[in-house]
Structure 1
């Protein structure tokens, strides 16, 4: 009761009893990579550099630029959204002011339309001088620049320009070059309270109210250093890290790499999903060196329009997120059809009947692969994380590990309402009632086989309680996936006794036989 004096009556409303536990988001992908924001903005800018950006639609994805070869984010978002559902928290690490290639002063000649094609898209720091050098021309006075397409157009003398038609000039410039992005850019760091690269994922709960639960870095996670950092980040935010193999890796080599120190596959983390192999797809991406000029001197971009190879993780991530939303996070990602792929970049023998098939051997080594048989379409294939076969506990199943993550984080976040309340039997009962109501709801939905929360006095001695600490137990069992189904078939000769014992057929009156 308050200590202030009152000669009268008052009512104090005291919240008591259980509270609902809100399930954390599981179908959120954390994507770190490169984006060609220069393709939608001039002068060149970075697309939300090292900033977590929530992408929920194609409109959101457009902020990261079109699909341009060499840039990973637009390709990954296309693969994710092709699965039909799911959100992504995107972190772009490409900065055109840092990641560029410089071209020294090179001779170019204006064509009859008064334009020059520099041969690269996404240009900056353009300097145009006379040839031979001596006069430096002024942008927007002597010439104009289309930085997106890399096209220089002279300003006619009648409009104040000083460059003669069909003149030869020297041009120095820089062009955006995603190949300059290194592993350290993707991994990032925390410097002076500033988060960069994948470290930004640690800030997303404070900014968006949730963490990404499926982490990918397509094109980079095949490097062991990025793979290790992605796994470490998954541990921090209770997520799964999807790691790729290099392109054109044989099934035998992928299995061997499980034991090769320095390989991205050499891990036994229950938070790592090994995605093999890379996949072919029809690539309609813009070729950043393929701009041509039409008869009027206007730029025309060129699309690749041919089959290409890309990391499998982006499709697996999209399939996982879509399945979470459609069926639940307690469902295994395995046996989920994937759209947008043409097939693996190496030949794989897939069979559910042959234990020596490539797909079975890969799964037995803790590698998630792709399955394709007659009429099945391409499917994610494999239930287990990289913890298998080192660990055989139930949480080596991807779905079990993810279900435990959801339960643990959901309960933790719900307990904020009870933190710092006076310890009493009523508080203990309220906490137990909240947790058990949540567990019962999960059992009813099929996310758990059984489970309960309990308070054991033996785990809570008086000295510990006097220190403000309470310990509760949560015992649950998520449903493991039906990875193997066995029938025992018997040839029962006694069934031959039924031969010759057929009963006469009785035809009802009036029936036509």
Structure 2
């Protein structure tokens, strides 16, 4: 209270009310890779398929449009996209390519998409863009203009450069910080996402690259820092027994040789429809699983396991896996038993994500091995840390202690009512505090909670008995 003189009346406001703890966003995916167009080495927010269009159409070799399509097939999700393909650096040149215009449509396509610097010529004649033809540089489609000098059905020679995903290296995806400008690239952009958007990604993917040991290790490290999950894939062509062996040291350079609770191991690749060939192509499971997790978070809550959820938009698997809910010798059960998330496909089930465990299983056992449980812990812990900002640097007294404790207890009671935890409690223990630490502005608050584990195994005891024969009565 102010010490100045007052002959009158005043009001002193005392704030003792508990403050709400806001839950951080969980359905946020970080996607690192290559796109034919779009911002380069910048964190770009995509909330819908409309936003995804800025990174171009589905084209072979570019994982960003492909993954965004896979994610939004599942329903919804917030995606932070980092495109590392720079056409100025990752380009190849086609010096001479022969192609013929379709006589009926007047169109042809370059052998490679995402082109620039196209030259169309016939013999010594160089045709003029806009006068003789038009070109879509993203798709590589060239259209003959009827008013131009290119004959219908003409065969021409093309030269151009094209954005080449094959030239993108692990170092490009991992990223760097420029020593002079401080500009960041690749995954080095991830820690700035909170400053830009107010949230960190909780699911990290780099489909098509996450099977490379350098990328899987870096994704996992970032997932640990950000309190998220890195979805890692086995390479294309991996057999079932090889996937299991990849969990150990006998397979060199394995992305599955990790015991991090922040890693989720995905196998096998899935088959999706390919419009370009009117057939199917392989796609990393991580692309679809990321969408499944985000959609499940929004529909049910982050404390629900993504397992036993139908995966939309796939038409098959890279290889057949036996799947029975009551067979411990089935392929999917074998994979789950070593901490690999897979796809369950049985009679009438459709294709379902199948597996509850992080990569720290089976080295560890218990609650800390479940994907849903550890995600719940990550989200609760982060939410409480961010809530604490409003109390930092206030005078430390009993009122502040009571406010913090009651705020967190209200938060835990709300989570219990939602079903995110079975129970929880926060407390301040004076015995834990020391005079030296309190004098240094440091206090310790404790809280505990129990997220519900998924119902992974059920046992029914079947008893065959004759006791009910006695219920048969004569006429």
TM-score, reference length from structure 1: 0.84
Q: Does 1:229 align with 2:218?
A: yes
Query: CA offsets, 1:7-56, max 9 Å, x none?
Result: 6554343433310001111111111121222xxxxxxxxx0112222212
Q: 1:325 matched to which residue of 2?
A: 298
d(CA) in 2 for partners of 1:404 and 1:194? 33
Q: How far apart are 1:141 and its partner, in Å?
A: 7.8
Q: Distance in 1 between matches of 2:314 and 2:102?
A: 42
Residue in 2 aligned with 1:94?
Answer: 85
Aligned to 2:329: 356
Contact preservation (8 Å) 2:261, 2:360: yes
Aligned pairs, number = 469
Q: CA, structure 1 residues 437+111, in 2 after alignment: closer, same or farther (shift >3 Å)? A: closer
Unaligned 5+ segments in structure 2 are none
From the superposition, tell whether residues 2 and 225 of structure 1 become closer, same or farther in structure 2 (CA, over 3 Å).
Answer: farther
Secondary structure in 1 matching 2:88:
coil
Are the aligned partners of 2:48 and 2:76 in contact in 1 as well (CA < 8 Å)? no
1:59 maps to which residue?
Answer: 50
CA contact (8 A) 1:249 1:346 kept: no
CA distance in 2, matches of 1:448, 1:94: 42
Give the match for residue 417 of structure 2: 444
The structure-2 alpha-carbon separation of the partners of 1:269 and 1:16, relative to structure 1 and needing over 3 Å to count, comes to same
1:199·1:233 contact (CA, 8 Å) conserved in 2? no
> 2:340 aligned with 1:392, yes or no?
no
* Aligned CA distance change for structure 1 residues 102 and 2 (closer, same or farther; 3 Å): farther
- Judge conservation of contact 2:48–2:77 (CA < 8 Å) in 1: no
The structure-2 alpha-carbon separation of the partners of 1:4 and 1:248, relative to structure 1 and needing over 3 Å to count, comes to: farther
Q: Is the 8 A contact 2:87 2:164 kept in 1?
A: yes
The residue correspondences of 1:434-473 to structure 2 (distance < 5 A) are: 434-473=407-446
Match of 1:238 among 203, 224, 227: 227
Q: Distance in 2 between matches of 1:489 and 1:107?
A: 72
Please report how far the alpha carbon of residue 73 of structure 1 lies from its aligned counterpart in structure 2 after TM superposition.
1.2
- Select the residue among 195, 198, 217 that pairs with 1:206: 195
Cα distance change of structure 1 residues 440 and 125 upon mapping to structure 2, 3 Å threshold: same
Alpha carbons of 1:79 and 1:145: their partners in 2 closer, same or farther (altered >3 Å)?
A: closer
Identify unmatched segments of 5+ residues in structure 1.
38-46, 285-302, 506-513
Contact 1:144 1:155 in 2 (8 A): no
**Equivalent residue, structure 1, for 2:23:** 23
Q: In structure 2, what is the equivalent of residue 275 of structure 1? A: 266
Bigger mean CA deviation after superposition, 444-453 or 109-118:
109-118
Q: Match of 1:295? A: none
Secondary structure of the corresponding residue to residue 372 of structure 1? strand
Question: 1:466-506: CA deviations, max 9, x gaps?
Answer: 0000111111111111111011222334x1xx43544689x
Which of 168, 177, 181 is 2:168 aligned to?
181
Provide Cα deviations, 1:106-153, integer angstroms capped at 9, x if missing partner: 688999999986543332234578956xx9887668876553425386
Instruction: Answer yes or no: is the 8 Å Cα contact 2:93–2:160 preserved in 1.
Output: yes
Instruction: Mark the CA change 1:150 to 1:96 in structure 2 (over 3 Å): closer, same or farther.
Output: farther
For the aligned residues, what is the CA RMSD?
A: 2.9
Q: Does the CA contact (< 8 Å) of 1:64 and 1:73 recur in 2?
A: yes
Q: Per the alignment, in what secondary structure is the counterpart of residue 350 of structure 2?
A: coil
Counterpart of 1:371 (choices 344, 353, 356) is: 344
* CA distance in structure 2 between the aligned counterparts of 1:82 and 1:167, rounded to whole angstroms: 41
Q: Distance in 2 between matches of 1:504 and 1:111?
A: 88
* Equivalent residue number for residue 115 of structure 2: 123
311, 324, 328: which one pairs with 1:338?
Answer: 311
Match of 2:385 in 1: 412
Secondary structure of the corresponding residue to residue 475 of structure 1? strand
Q: State the distance in 2 between where 1:165 and 1:325 align.
A: 54
CA distance in 2, matches of 1:87, 1:106: 41
The answer (yes or no) to whether the contact 2:59–2:113 under 8 Å persists in 1 is no
Q: Is the 8 A contact 2:133 2:142 kept in 1?
A: no
Q: Is the CA contact (8 Å cut-off) linking 1:257 and 1:266 kept in structure 2?
A: yes
8 Å Cα contact 1:141-1:155 kept in structure 2:
no
Contact 2:27–2:78 under 8 Å retained in 1? yes
Q: Which moved more, 1:333-342 or 1:195-204?
A: 195-204
Flag the 1:131–1:4 CA change in 2: closer, same or farther, 3 A: farther
8 Å contact from structure 1 (residues 107, 131) kept in 2 = no
Tell me the residue number matched to 2:464: 491
SS in structure 2 of the partner of residue 194 of structure 1: coil
Q: Which has the larger radius of gyration?
A: 1
2:254 is matched with 263
Compare 137-146 and 244-253 and name the one that shifted more.
Answer: 137-146
